[in-house]
Amino acid sequence: MRVDRCPVCKRRTTRSSESNRRYWALLHVLAEEVKPAGVAYSADQWHTYCKSRFLGCDDMTLPNGKTLTIPKSTANLDTGAFNDYMTEVEAWANERGVYLEDRENAA
């Protein structure tokens, strides 16, 4: 059973700084190594792509009638949901030959 809230103060448990660093390290490796159709993308661009692919998007209608599609935020994920998201992103990266552990062990 997952505990999403602190049993004492009832605050939502959030991912650790270490988890966040690991996620961004993976995005930076993706930026270095994965270049679809020969085009390089930044870690921020990969972050937006992964959020939209694995978390989905919400449509927002603006006052001018235009609709924007906005990826859901990782900031709203509790610890368990972020771990699930990270597992999906890592599996997707692994399918493209990107393995973060190799980099961490080499450091």
Reported as a single tens digit per residue, the pLDDT across 31-75 is 999 999 999 999 999 999 999 999 999 999 999 999 999 999 999
Superfamily of domain 17-100, CATH level 4: NinB (1.10.3790.10)
Tokens of 5: 């809230």
What is the pLDDT, as a whole number, of residue 32? 96
What is the pLDDT, as a whole number, of residue 5? 56
Query: Which CA distances in Å does 93 have to 10, 81, 90?
Result: 35, 18, 5
Alpha-carbon gap, residue 33 to 97, rounded angstroms: 9
Whole-model pTM? 0.79
Could you read off the pLDDT of 65-89 as tens digits, one per residue? 999 999 999 998 988 899 999 999 9
Mean pLDDT to the nearest integer, 8-28: 81
Alpha-carbon gap, residue 23 to 11, rounded angstroms: 23
